[in-house]
């Protein structure tokens, strides 16, 4: 199992500005470079369902649930099973990953965890850069 937490502080940005960027579900590939394509449809006010194609040649079925200042990407079946939960507090944004890969990927789990962690760090940095740009203009 791959499980880790990445935290980024965003003082002096406003929580609402950071959340505005994160909640734009269809913009996720712009910030999360590990996502090549996100093909989801809105099935309710706060839920999207569909598929994600990763930068590496594979895909997973997903359900994305929006909460109050949280977004949970649930990987239902495919190369990943589990979740990535992104939460925005008053001063920090966090991304908590908890996913499993197929048995044949177990030998690469540590390397994949490092890769996912690095990608998450860069994604949160890009999200905060966009929030900063929006707050200035």
Query: What CATH code is carried by the domain that includes residue 38?
Result: 3.30.530.20
pLDDT of 137 strictly over 80: no
Instruction: Give 4-32 pLDDT, tens digit per residue.
Output: 999 999 999 999 999 999 999 999 999 99
First-to-last alpha carbon distance for the chain, in angstroms, is 42
Element (H, E) at 30: helix 28-31
Q: Which domain holds residue 25?
A: 2-136
Q: Which pLDDT score, from 0 to 100, does residue 68 have?
A: 96
Instruction: Give 37-89 pLDDT, tens digit per residue.
Output: 999 999 999 999 999 999 888 999 999 999 999 999 999 999 999 999 999 99
Number of domains present in the structure of the chain: 1
Instruction: Give 89-110 pLDDT, tens digit per residue.
Output: 999 999 999 999 999 999 999 9
How far, in Å, CA of 85 to CA of 107, rounded? 25
Q: Which pLDDT score, from 0 to 100, does residue 57 have?
A: 85
Assess contact for 112 and 101: CB atoms under 8 A. Answer: yes
How far, in Å, CA of 110 to CA of 89, rounded? 29
3-state class (DSSP) for residue 27 = helix
DSSP assignment string, 104-135: GGGGGHHHHHHHHHHHHHHHHHHHHHHHHHHH
């Amino acid at each position: 199992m791959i499980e880790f937490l990445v935290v980024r502080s965003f003082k002096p940005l406003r929580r609402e500005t950071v959340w505005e960027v994160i909640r734009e579900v269809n913009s996720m590939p712009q910030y999360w470079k590990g996502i090549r394509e996100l093909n989801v449809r809105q099935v309710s006010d706060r839920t999207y369902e569909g598929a994600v194609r990763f930068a590496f040649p594979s895909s997973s079925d997903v359900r994305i649930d929006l909460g109050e200042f949280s977004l949970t990407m649930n990987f239902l079946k495919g190369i990943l099973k589990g979740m990535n939960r992104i939460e925005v507090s008053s001063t920090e944004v966090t991304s908590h990953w908890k996913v499993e890969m197929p048995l044949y990927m177990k030998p690469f789990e540590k390397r994949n965890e490092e890769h996912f962690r690095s990608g998450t760090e860069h994604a949160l940095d890009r999200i905060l850069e966009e929030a900063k740009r929006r707050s200035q203009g």
